Amino acid sequence: MPKPKPPILLVEDDEVDVMMVQRAFTRHAVTNPLLVAASGDEALQLLHDPEQQRNLPRLVLFDLNMPRMDGITFLQRLRADPLLQSIVAVAITSSNQERDRLTLFRHHVAGYFVKPVSYEAQQELFGTIARYWMLSQLP
């Protein structure tokens, strides 16, 4: 039996954005299961769930502006965790901040993307990101 496709984890607190990403993946024929966590805490919990260990996500897309744990703290936690430190993590933001970018790249973010305003452009962005990592060999 072929190994199931590794899931993609989306860390996003806005439900409308979650639906937008789901739709983008369907339209771009991204068939990996999409896991959703509404916060950084929830994402870390999910990644540490023993059930998840057998099929750990190898790509995490996270929103920078989240309540409780912001995206930068989430990435720092990921990188400090021996089990999770090599996961490819991509940051999505609605406001482009230079200072954030430096910190994120220092913590080895695999791309920093500004969410476009138009729905079509958002679909295109998420489709491009997911398809790109399918072409790439993951660590």
Q: Which residues bind other proteins (CB under 8 A)?
A: 86, 88, 96, 98, 101-102, 105-106, 108, 110-114, 125, 128-129, 131-132, 135-137, 139
- Looking at the Cβ atoms of 38 and 57, the one nearer to other proteins is 57
Q: How far is CA 61 from CA 3, 47, 91, 99, in A?
A: 22, 13, 6, 20
In the complex, the smallest distance separating the C-beta of residue 41 from other proteins, rounded to whole angstroms, is 26
- Looking at the Cβ atoms of 52 and 97, the one nearer to other proteins is 97
Q: 110: number of CA atoms within 13 Å, CB side?
A: 21
In the complex, the smallest distance separating the C-beta of residue 96 from other proteins, rounded to whole angstroms, is 6
- Looking at the Cβ atoms of 60 and 88, the one nearer to other proteins is 88
- Looking at the Cβ atoms of 67 and 95, the one nearer to other proteins is 95
In the complex, the smallest distance separating the C-beta of residue 50 from other proteins, rounded to whole angstroms, is 25
> Comparing C-alpha atoms, which of 71, 120, 118, 121 is closest to residue 97?
71
Sheet holding 34-37, edge to edge: 34-37, 8-11, 59-63, 88-93, 112-114
